[in-house]
Structure 1
């Protein structure tokens, strides 16, 4: 039974892996197009906002739909909408009509439906994969995401140079075709759908609250939500400022090399967790990895050596798949399958809720506060500047040190909460009954 179920997961994973690569190609190409057309980092950052904000807005309601309808059909619908949005961009490119606001609108539209895709995908995994193999399955997903970081810049750059933006989008549409084909042929167990109450407006909001109440009844879940919201806020600063840090110390060519090398760190971490399956104690895996990740961010801020910074972020990204795989496997094993859609969407919403704040304030914070303080005649030049240097990149370096320290402090503070530290023992597995089969039908 497990072999067949895991093979079915692998079939779905292959399709989504190809789709992630295709989407990453288009995202990179469109971001490059915006930067070359406008030269504005602000305009570029608005693409990230158009990705994040729909998730925050739609998530509380998406979970109700995921738990009431076929998760397979919702995954197919989400992929179709994303493909349709990409097709619109292609038509605009072919007619020389593409404008920046088109990218914002289509990105936001696709992102709203992607809010259904990922929680549905994650809950499908818990229906197909045995508890002990959840870490391995989630590690495979991390491999796909990390591979896209490595592949997208190189392949998209080649296609842009040789055949233009339309070539990248054609490849993305082919990737969507692969993903849709695997989903259509996949047999995914479906949970019994609520038929006792009609889904009117009142019931819709009642169902949405049920997901929230489920989380609030468990202090450990609440602490984990707080933890990842803060961690993702700090990661937002790192994601926005890493490229400007590298460019301030070297060149655009060096930046490409650094991103590729560090991306291999994430790929290596994903491969490791896929083969290993992760630590038996997933909570320890999450918090130990986060502690090391924070230390590496702080160390990167102390130096202007590109080699040392690259090594730090290679190791930093190595730990990210371990954190994500352990976390996802933990939620999948502890949350009742019938409510996973609502719980996972709320979790995703809260996880990214502070991310836009980092995108908005990172640039002004560096330009107006940290860079001036770390100039040769700045306020901190005679103190901290004696340790980490002054001038180009040192403002971002100081901010990275602070972010890394905060990373470690928050990690230690949350881990010291007994409810979090002991949650794997205190909260029973919700998926234990699947060891004997659940008789679910396939769609």
Structure 2
């Protein structure tokens, strides 16, 4: 087998990856700053979770159309147009803020529009990566994406807090626009994405039928469909817990301390960073499915259960770090399974179908988490019933204790279902590369 030079094989991808990472960091700083701003206006879990709901809905609703367009149209042009419209959204927020007219509902609308564009950008970017990267480097590239994501998670809260303190929200938004310029110009002038010729059947195929091709592919590959349905359930409960309600838990229990939130979210990133380094450098595992489900279960146990039983910042940091190390292994191997089991000419449609199914439960989880926290668990934990007194021993009292109870329930469900799925022989065929 011929040895390859990794850096030579991945040179164009690394340029694209680096510039996109810079841009995503600016966007993440803005997202952090806006969460702090929104919570300061309302001080409710629902106000934060609704931001995420409006960020997911359009991506889910328009995924089928977007995947077909990503397979048929020029990937680079799609990515450039989507980036440009995202920048216009940031400019709109900046103008509204500078004129003292920014309202929370403005952010919901802007997030909805930006998510609509992301529905097209995500499958285009996904297929572009497959075109730029040799098949043998798929897991390493997934590790690099996790690596950049973890670095962003570490830096965004710290930088966002610092810039907020020094220059306010407007400074954060202007940095976001500057980082966008780096990514946009790099993609425009320095990146050439190969074009794949569609098969004659696909060219003649109607647009509506092409949109359904992804779903039909998954229906004919039951193991892929089952693992996607499993993670649709995982996304539902995860967004009710640590992956949707962590800001509300920390801000509630610390009296709206944005520094504490920034430190905990940085710990999330550091954990993913450590895991990503291992994934990128180590030899790809043979049994990817086992790694996926084992990592998922351990993450719920260390994260949601661990965070629910802790009451101090150092313990939150420890739980955030340890639970996100295995997440890098989960995401890298799950992505590699998808890439190796789906033909490249079908990836835009299949990945969009996957996103529609797998992410459709996220808004439901976010809404349920916010509603249950504000209207049931938080009020209950401020009461004086016998059950409340028992629950207050492990979960504490006061603001945030009800959310902690939700975290514990979510964590135990996620842990148990992951290890049950680990025993299912149906998934083992996904370890074989097509």
Please give the TM-score of this superposition, normalised by the length of structure 1: 0.87
Deviations for 1:329-378, whole angstroms, at most 9, x for unmatched residues?
Answer: 11111100011001111111222211111221213323444346556743
Q: CA deviation at 1:273?
A: 1.8
Rounded to whole Å, the distance in 2 between the matches of 1:357 and 1:337 is 31
Find the counterpart in structure 2 of residue 221 from structure 1: 224
1:177 aligns to 2:184 (yes or no): no
Q: 1:91 to 1:241 in 2, by over 3 A?
A: closer
Find the counterpart in structure 2 of residue 397 from structure 1: 404
**Paired residue secondary structure (1:422):** helix
Residue among 193, 212, 215 paired with 1:212: 215
Find the counterpart in structure 2 of residue 33 from structure 1: 37
1:187 aligns to 2:225 (yes or no): no
Q: Are the counterparts in 2 of residues 374 and 380 from structure 1 also a CA contact under 8 Å?
A: no
Find the counterpart in structure 1 of residue 130 from structure 2: 126
Q: Mark the runs of 5 or more structure 1 residues left unpaired by the alignment.
A: 430-443
Find the counterpart in structure 1 of residue 357 from structure 2: 350
Q: CA deviation at 1:219?
A: 1.1
Q: Are the counterparts in 1 of residues 287 and 431 from structure 2 also a CA contact under 8 Å?
A: yes
Residue among 52, 55, 60 paired with 1:51: 55
Rounded to whole Å, the distance in 2 between the matches of 1:352 and 1:170 is 31
Rounded to whole Å, the distance in 1 between the matches of 2:403 and 2:120 is 36
Q: Are the counterparts in 2 of residues 64 and 342 from structure 1 also a CA contact under 8 Å?
A: yes
Find the counterpart in structure 1 of residue 328 from structure 2: 321
1:144 aligns to 2:148 (yes or no): yes
Q: Are the counterparts in 2 of residues 134 and 277 from structure 1 also a CA contact under 8 Å?
A: no
1:286 aligns to 2:292 (yes or no): yes
Residue among 295, 300, 310 paired with 2:307: 300
Q: Are the counterparts in 1 of residues 44 and 248 from structure 2 also a CA contact under 8 Å?
A: no
Deviations for 1:10-45, whole angstroms, at most 9, x for unmatched residues?
Answer: 011011101110111222223333333454543333
State which drifts further: 184-193 or 325-334. 184-193
Rounded to whole Å, the distance in 2 between the matches of 1:409 and 1:135 is 27
Q: 1:229 to 1:92 in 2, by over 3 A?
A: same
Counting matched residue pairs gives: 424
Rounded to whole Å, the distance in 1 between the matches of 2:98 and 2:225 is 49
State which drifts further: 42-51 or 170-179. 42-51
Q: CA deviation at 1:382?
A: 6.5
Rounded to whole Å, the distance in 1 between the matches of 2:155 and 2:74 is 33
* Superposed CA RMSD: 2.5
Find the counterpart in structure 1 of residue 16 from structure 2: 12
Q: CA deviation at 1:240?
A: 3.3
Q: 1:96 to 1:53 in 2, by over 3 A?
A: same
Residue among 75, 78, 82 paired with 1:74: 78
**Paired residue secondary structure (1:380):** helix
Rounded to whole Å, the distance in 1 between the matches of 2:62 and 2:132 is 26
Rounded to whole Å, the distance in 2 between the matches of 1:181 and 1:146 is 24
Q: CA deviation at 1:157?
A: 2.4
Q: CA deviation at 1:260?
A: 2.4
Rounded to whole Å, the distance in 1 between the matches of 2:281 and 2:198 is 35
Q: CA deviation at 1:317?
A: 1.5
Find the counterpart in structure 2 of residue 103 from structure 1: 107
Deviations for 1:219-263, whole angstroms, at most 9, x for unmatched residues?
Answer: 111111111111111210123332333345445243333232333
Q: CA deviation at 1:166?
A: 2.5
Rounded to whole Å, the distance in 2 between the matches of 1:29 and 1:249 is 19
Residue among 253, 262, 265 paired with 1:259: 265
- 1:153-172 equivalence runs, <5 A: 153-172=157-176
Find the counterpart in structure 2 of residue 433 from structure 1: none
Rounded to whole Å, the distance in 2 between the matches of 1:337 and 1:52 is 25
**Paired residue secondary structure (1:164):** helix
Rounded to whole Å, the distance in 1 between the matches of 2:161 and 2:251 is 18
Q: 1:112 to 1:277 in 2, by over 3 A?
A: farther
Q: CA deviation at 1:289?
A: 0.7
Find the counterpart in structure 2 of residue 440 from structure 1: none
Rounded to whole Å, the distance in 1 between the matches of 2:55 and 2:139 is 27
Q: Are the counterparts in 2 of residues 26 and 169 from structure 1 also a CA contact under 8 Å?
A: yes
Rounded to whole Å, the distance in 1 between the matches of 2:21 and 2:317 is 26
